[in-house]
Structures are given as structure tokens and as C-alpha cells.
Amino acid sequence: MTESHTSPGASGDALAPEADTWTVGGLTLSSRVLLGTSRYPSLQSLLDSVDASGTQLVTVGVRRIDLTESGGTSLLSALRQRHSAERPLHLLPNTAGCYTAREAVLTAQLAREALETDRVKLEVIGEDETLYPDAIELVKAAGELVADGFEVFAYCGDDPVTARRLADMGCAAVMPLGAPIGSGMGLTNPYALRILREILPDVPLVVDAGIGTASDAALAMELGYDGILLNTAVAGAERPPQMAAAMRHATLAGRLAHLAGRIPRRLYAEASTPEAGRIELRP
């Protein structure tokens, strides 16, 4: 899988996320939280959540915002003001709301021109009830965008055939869902997610959609995923900035647990105290 440039060791630097960077879409990031920017109760709540999460990559819905926004109170302006050399914050436009490859490609091209970035989170939705991706249209759009020089972050289902196809065609990241978008159901099929990690060991994998709380984020990272993408779990929480902070810590904890290497699961107990030297009491 895509490991860190410098894996944290047993010393104090094990708790320093900056010691565990990863590379995706031409970016080297220390944060493994990707954050969506829609449906927050206020712009200030969003900005506080961005800060609390520690994210360095935020998604913006191209079809849901005004790309011509200007002024300090607009979403794009406020996010750009958060960017600095010390604390980078990059924009990842997404094609949310697209139902065909043609729609998604045109939306991505519009985003590249307006936001001056080749990175795009590719969503091609199949139907309205579950918001599951349309695998056929998704693969078609991904192929066109990769050929056009885009760094494609592809939102997909958890089936290995589609995921491998997206990886083989050169997507920057493959982003399988944990559960339907906005459901908060957590990782409903961790078995499938484990398979994807095993068959795509060198591809950046990000769990996208379905995470509801911090334990879901920790589990995703324990499975060896490179990052998580959140929106509703934070934006819909009673106190979004606090949930964003919880996700930040859970992601770090899960990542450290993965690097540490968990003990194997056993059907029966195994005593932690050695038998040697045990005191024997006789009547």
C-alpha cells in the first residue's frame, strides 16, 4: 500500500502526523482527512471545522457553488485565505450531481478552467435512492479525464473489478464507499474494503462516504487505507468543529494502530501471564 515517507517509530515522533506523509494527486500531505464543504450551518462553522480537522484538501461541489464568487465572505475566498506555506489547504473540485460521463467530464473541465487545478473528485451517480455510482459511466469518464491530464480521485463502489480498472487506467486515488452517501452507517462491508486494500497495495485508497463517527474513521485507517473523506458526519453533527477534531484524532489513532500491527484474532483465550515461575499452592 502507499506508506509514509517516514513511518513513525517507537519514540515521541510516533504521535507527530507530519512524520507520516503520503502522496496523492501530485500533493504530499501530512493530514489523512479530506473534508467536504457543503451543508454546514454557517460559513464560520465550516471554517472552524476545517481548522479542527487539520485537513489539507477540501472538496467543493462545482455544480453547487458560484465559481465566480469573490470577496472575503464567499466560500472560495474564505477557503483560499486559509491556505499558507505553513498550513497548506488545497481545493478538490468534485462532479457531484452528475449522472453521465459527459456531464462529469464537462464539469471537470469547467472546474479546471475556473479553479486552475487538474485535480478532480469524480462522481457519476447511478440513481437517486442510494446515490451509488454508475460503474460504467464512471469508468468511461475516468478514462477521458486521465487522458486529458486530470488527477482523478474516483468515487466508486466497493467491488474489486471496478476499483482495479480505475487504478489500472491511472486514477490518482480510488475512493470506495463505506456506505451510501450521507447515511452515517459506517463501514458496512469491511470485508470488501480489506480485499481492495490487498489487491491494490500501491494505490492511494480513501474511504469516501458513509462514515458517521470517529470509530468508523479509526476502523478505516486500521484496515490500511490512506485517508478518509468526510462531509455529512461533520456538517450534520450537533457541534461540527468538535466532530471534526474527533475525526482528526481517530484517523491518527487508526493509522498508528495499523502501523503498529495488531495481534491476531483468536477463537480461544491465551494467557498473557507466562506459566514459568508460577507459584504452586499445596494443601
Give the H/E segment covering residue 193. helix 190-199
- At 272 the pLDDT is 76
More confidently predicted of 11 and 142:
142
- At 12 the pLDDT is 47
The answer on whether 246 is annotated among ligand-binding residues is no
| CATH class belonging to 27-66+75-259 | alpha beta
Lowest model confidence (mean pLDDT) among 189-198, 238-247, 270-279: 270-279
What pTM was estimated for this model as a whole?
Answer: 0.87
- At 6 the pLDDT is 45
For cell 490512506, the residue is 226
For cell 456506505, the residue is 179
Mean pLDDT of 17-29: 87
Residue 88 reports pLDDT greater than 80? yes
- At 123 the pLDDT is 95
Residue 276 reports pLDDT greater than 80? no
Mean pLDDT of 169-185: 94
Residue 102 reports pLDDT greater than 80? yes
Mean pLDDT of 157-183: 95
C-alpha grid cell, residue 134: 454508475
**Diameter over CA atoms, the chain:** 88
The answer on whether 232 is annotated among ligand-binding residues is yes
The answer on whether 182 is annotated among ligand-binding residues is yes
The answer on whether 231 is annotated among ligand-binding residues is yes
Q: Which residues contact 11 (CB under 8 A, 6 or more apart)?
A: none
Mean pLDDT of 135-149: 97
Spatial CA neighbour of 97 closest among 47, 61, 146, 54 = 61
The answer on whether 209 is annotated among ligand-binding residues is yes
Residue 252 reports pLDDT greater than 70? yes
Active-site annotation holder among 32, 112, 119, 121: 121
Beta-bridged to residue 23, according to DSSP, are 28
- At 67 the pLDDT is 66
- At 125 the pLDDT is 93
Q: Is 140 a catalytic residue?
A: no
- At 11 the pLDDT is 47
* DSSP code string of 82-147: T--SSS--EEEEE-TT--SHHHHHHHHHHHHHHH--SEEEE--B--TTT--B-HHHHHHHHHHHHH
Q: How large a percentage of the chain has pLDDT more than 70?
A: 87
Q: Assign 3 a pLDDT band (cuts: 50, 70, 90).
A: low
Q: How large a percentage of the chain has pLDDT more than 90?
A: 71
Spatial CA neighbour of 231 closest among 255, 211, 246, 253 = 211
Residue 72 reports pLDDT greater than 60? no
- At 281 the pLDDT is 73
Residue 46 reports pLDDT greater than 70? yes
Give the H/E segment covering residue 174. strand 173-176
